Amino acid sequence: MDKKKIIIDCDPGIDDSLAIMLALKSDELDVKGLTIVSGNVHASKGAENALRILKEIGRLDIPVYIGDGSPLERELITAEDTHGEDGLGETFLPRVEGVNYKEGAVDFILKSLREEDELSIIAIGPLTNIAKALETDKETMRKLKELVVMGGAFKSFGNCSQVAEFNFWVDPHAAEKVFNELHRNITMVGLDVTREIVLTPNYIEMLKQFKHPLADLIVKITKFYVDFHWAQERTLGCVINDPLAIAYFIDSSICSGEEYYVDIVTEGKAIGMSLVDEGDFYRKEANCLVLTEVNSKAFMEMFLTRLIPEHKKDILNVLNNPKYSYQNQKFDK
Ligand code: BDR
Ligand code: CA
């Protein structure tokens, strides 16, 4: 089987770290590198975190490239309140020694696209690096096979304002540029689908019981995130947005949606909003597949069994037990 070649553009970040783990535990993917953008934390912190995660999973062979520190026009607003002072839930894992990240995320993206056919990008942070690459060399960017973006919200409310999702809100000008100028397959994995992906207290308890290094790491880095979710919105567990973009890229049957023209609001009260033109007011060609439905059980199964394959049987038992798995229960939305 030919592996699908990808670059992950990210801002690690707790859920970014989970996404990196899932990608590197998936045989279908050939991860060419990680490019780091400022978002959850400044890119310099994010790059150190990327190295920490790569070390934990024994994949320091994957190169890490850092992008510019600031969004295209807006001042950077980070999310240490959500991801912790260190961006990894205040676990303060030791700094990785002996391997460094490199400068030049945008150059790495463009060079990789020139050298490789069929390369895709999964972008799970603000779209600054992608927009800058587009600004630098549009033609090369249009060689991109697919761009899967975690960001935006269609029918769902936002997480930075009623209408804006964090990644688009941090750098709305970048998102606006990418959606309007890439002219390539974009998939929007927005809050409509990612809000359905909850690492519940039951799953966390199961992970604790495994006494497995990666399971322990997941519990450790999500603890702060869980506390944030309770304090912020009185929800139990935590929503893990970013790994859904990876899972969807591996198996597109996990989500479904519709194609629309999507624009991003760059100023005013609705700054950062993804404006999905369902009513065809703009009379513009669709530029994006907007995902609206997700099979959260299929996601959880992929996510947990790939990260902790040694406990596949226990994971499936828990996932298939309606007492423990919310995915087996019927809720009114
Ligand atoms: C997105 O914002 C970040 O906090 C997460 O890492 C995710 O990419 C969700 O809105
Ligand atoms: Ca992210």
pLDDT in tens, the chain (333 residues): 799 999 999 999 999 999 999 999 999 999 999 999 999 999 999 999 999 999 999 999 999 999 989 999 999 999 999 999 999 999 999 999 999 999 999 999 999 999 999 999 999 999 999 999 999 999 999 999 999 999 999 999 999 999 999 999 999 999 999 999 998 789 999 999 999 999 999 999 999 999 999 999 999 999 999 999 999 989 999 999 999 999 999 999 999 999 999 999 999 999 999 999 999 999 999 999 999 999 999 999 999 999 999 999 999 999 999 999 988 876 665
Q: Which ligand minimizes its atom distance to the CA of 10? A: 2
Cα 2 to averaged position of ligand 1 atoms, centre (Å): 30
- Whose CA is closest to atom 10 on ligand 1? 166
Whether ligand 1 lies within 6 angstroms of the CB of 242 is answered as: yes
Q: How many CA atoms lie within 13 A of 223 on its CB side?
A: 13
Cα 125 to averaged position of ligand 2 atoms, centre (Å): 4
Cα 321 to averaged position of ligand 2 atoms, centre (Å): 31
Q: Which of 10, 16, 49, 157 to mutate to test the pocket of ligand 1 (most atoms within 8 A of CB)?
A: 16
Per-residue burial over 183-212, b if 16 or more Cβ lie within 10 Å, else e, is ebebbbbbbbbbbbbbbbebbbebbeebee
Identity of the amino acid at 291: L
Question: Which ligand 1 atom is the nearest neighbour of the CA of 191?
Answer: 10
Cα separation, 140 vs 162, in Å, equals: 36
Q: Which of 10, 154, 163, 242 to mutate to test the pocket of ligand 1 (most atoms within 8 A of CB)?
A: 242
The pLDDT of residue 158: 97
Fold of 4-198+239-294: Inosine-uridine Nucleoside N-ribohydrolase; Chain A (3.90.245)
Question: Which ligand 1 atom is the nearest neighbour of the CA of 194?
Answer: 9
- For residues 207 and 215, is the Cβ–Cβ distance under 8 A? yes
| Residues in Cβ contact with 35 at an 8 Å cutoff, skipping those fewer than 6 apart | 7, 8, 9, 10, 64, 65, 66, 67, 105, 106, 108, 109, 129
Whether ligand 1 lies within 6 angstroms of the CB of 165 is answered as: yes
Cα separation, 95 vs 111, in Å, equals: 28
- Chain center to CA of 326: 22
Cα separation, 153 vs 161, in Å, equals: 11
Cα 148 to averaged position of ligand 2 atoms, centre (Å): 13
Q: Copy the structure tokens of residue 90.
A: 């205040």
Phi first, then psi: give them for residue 256, nearest 5 degrees.
Answer: -140, 165
Q: Is the pTM of this model over 0.85?
A: yes
